[in-house]
């Protein structure tokens, strides 16, 4: 990522050619940026991403013609979520400290800085185009899902049962991190979700939501098993897929919720909503066996497929849980509503298909 940077942390509208020149030089590019333009990209609601197109003075060599910057959300509610949950600090620290060893394909980070007191931050990253972003509402093909689970296996195997991760305070759900979300807050968000959306919520989803919130401590603490790095928002919107024009086959972005826990927190979450229900039922077993086999090839031992499948069922609630909680703490948009209901339905169907309700205390 280059040498330590001494640059002001600026909002996207205040990024200048001089600032960009300094950032690129510190990242190893001996260039001068003459001018730049920025255009917002992506659908993220907690952070704002901007693609900068750069014009250089003289020969730019192999310096990038475009880069992507990530900044705090301009929406006060979404920004407060990013600050209160430590999301901005967590993502910057991931790129600073873990991206190189995490095994997974991510954009090359050129600059990462954050103010611990305010969570004001800036990330400057490789532009992954001509890869294209995934879409939670449209989902993925089975072939794309296989590529994603290959990345998941590499990521999860990278720090499998690595006790050093539990000592990192900014990672989500480690022994050293602040206490996790309280059940009372989750119940408040669920009741608020029910009040806001009313009859739009299907009856079976109401039943599942009530069961989750009634047993939230078990859902969050009932896991006993091996631990690894987890993304915790592992879905198509946070992935970039290669095209015929180029790009990595798949790269994973948005590391605001990275933590240390059960690998199925990512795999079950992803398969809940990325595939149509009939595709998940038809192809899920093969995808999961391939993922499990890849873990073994990457050095993971002592994790039986049968044990993994029990964890797969337990974490089939994850996408449903994210759908109603996130919808209540970020800026409300029409696409956001549609996306969260797609996640809610996919998560509910997955929980029903795995028999996850039977795992909860009565």
Tokens describing residue 327:
């919808």
Does CATH place domain 12-126 in 3.40.50.300? Answer: no
If residue 351 lies in a helix (H) or strand (E), which one and from where to where? Answer: helix 334-354
CA distances for 323 relative to 186, 276, 339, 348, angstroms: 12, 17, 8, 10
* C-alpha to C-alpha distance for 319 and 164, rounded to whole angstroms: 28
Q: How much of the chain is in helix, strand and coil states, percent to nearest 5?
A: 50, 15, 35
Q: Give the residue range(s) of CATH 3.30.200.20 domains in the chain.
A: 12-126
Greatest Cα-to-Cα distance within the chain, rounded to the nearest angstrom: 70
pLDDT at 257: 94
* C-alpha to C-alpha distance for 190 and 215, rounded to whole angstroms: 13
* C-alpha to C-alpha distance for 185 and 177, rounded to whole angstroms: 18
pLDDT at 85: 86
* C-alpha to C-alpha distance for 257 and 240, rounded to whole angstroms: 18
End-to-end CA distance of the chain: 51
* C-alpha to C-alpha distance for 7 and 101, rounded to whole angstroms: 26
3-state class of 191 per DSSP? helix
Please tell me the number of Cα atoms within 13 Å of 94 on its side-chain side: 28
pLDDT at 259: 96
257, 90 contact by CB (below 8 A) = yes
* Tens-place pLDDT, residues 155-206: 999 999 999 999 999 999 899 998 666 788 899 999 999 999 999 999 999 9
CA distances for 161 relative to 107, 150, 221, 264, angstroms: 25, 19, 17, 14
* C-alpha to C-alpha distance for 155 and 103, rounded to whole angstroms: 5
Buried/exposed 155-179: b ≥16 CB within 10 Å, e otherwise: bbbbbbeeeebeebebbbbbeebee
Q: CATH code for 132-359?
A: 3.90.1200
CA distances for 162 relative to 168, 226, 227, angstroms: 11, 10, 8
pLDDT at 219: 74
pLDDT at 181: 64
* C-alpha to C-alpha distance for 48 and 87, rounded to whole angstroms: 13
- pLDDT 10s digit of each residue in the chain, 362 long? 444 447 999 999 999 999 999 999 999 999 999 999 999 987 667 789 999 999 999 999 999 999 999 999 888 888 888 898 899 999 999 999 999 999 999 999 999 999 999 999 999 999 999 999 999 999 999 999 999 999 999 999 999 999 999 999 999 989 999 866 678 889 999 999 999 999 999 999 999 999 999 988 887 777 889 999 999 999 999 999 999 999 999 999 999 999 999 999 999 999 999 999 999 999 999 999 999 999 999 999 999 999 999 999 999 999 999 999 989 988 889 999 999 999 999 999 999 999 999 988 86
Q: Give the residue range(s) of CATH 3.90.1200 domains in the chain.
A: 132-359
148, 250 contact by CB (below 8 A) = yes
pLDDT at 5: 46
CA distances for 127 relative to 40, 57, 86, 124, 166, angstroms: 13, 20, 25, 9, 32
* C-alpha to C-alpha distance for 271 and 269, rounded to whole angstroms: 6
Is the peptide bond between 130 and the residue preceding it cis, with omega within 30 degrees of 0? Answer: yes
pLDDT at 93: 97
360, 215 contact by CB (below 8 A) = yes
* C-alpha to C-alpha distance for 185 and 190, rounded to whole angstroms: 9
């Amino acid at each position: 990522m280059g040498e330590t940077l001494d640059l002001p942390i600026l909002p996207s509208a205040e990024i200048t050619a001089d600032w960009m020149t300094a950032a690129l030089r510190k990242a190893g590019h001996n260039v001068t940026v003459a001018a730049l333009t920025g255009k917002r990209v992506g659908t993220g609601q907690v952070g704002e991403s901007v693609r900068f197109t750069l014009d250089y003075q003289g020969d730019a060599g192999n310096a990038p013609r475009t880069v992507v910057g990530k900044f705090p959300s301009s929406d006060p509610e979404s920004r407060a979520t990013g600050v209160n949950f430590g999301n901005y600090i967590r993502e910057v620290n991931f790129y600073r400290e873990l991206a190189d060893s995490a095994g997974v394909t991510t954009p090359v980070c050129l600059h990462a800085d954050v103010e611990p007191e305010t969570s004001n931050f800036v990330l400057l990253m490789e532009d992954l185009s001509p890869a294209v972003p995934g879409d939670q509402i449209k989902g993925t093909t089975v072939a794309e899902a296989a590529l994603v689970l290959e990345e998941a296996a590499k990521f999860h195997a990278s720090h499998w049962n690595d006790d050093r991760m539990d000592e990192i305070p900014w990672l989500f759900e480690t022994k050293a991190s602040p206490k996790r979300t309280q059940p009372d807050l989750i119940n408040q968000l669920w009741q608020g979700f029910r009040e806001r959306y009313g009859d739009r919520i299907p009856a079976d989803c109401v039943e599942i939501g009530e069961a989750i919130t009634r047993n939230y401590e078990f859902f969050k603490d009932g896991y006993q098993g091996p631990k690894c790095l987890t993304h915790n928002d592992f879905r198509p919107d946070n992935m970039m897929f290669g095209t015929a024009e180029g790009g990595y086959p798949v790269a994973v972005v948005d590391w605001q919720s990275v933590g240390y826990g059960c690998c199925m927190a990512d795999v079950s979450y992803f398969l809940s909503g990325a595939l149509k229900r009939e595709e998940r039922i038809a192809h899920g077993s093969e995808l999961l066996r391939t993922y499990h086999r890849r873990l073994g090839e990457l050095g993971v031992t002592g994790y039986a497929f049968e044990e993994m499948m029990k964890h797969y069922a337990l974490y089939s609630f994850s996408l449903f849980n994210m759908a109603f909680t996130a919808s209540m703490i970020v800026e409300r948009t029409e696409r956001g509503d549609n996306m969260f209901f797609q996640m809610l339905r996919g998560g509910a169907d997955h929980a029903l298909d795995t028999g996850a309700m039977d795992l909860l205390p009565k």
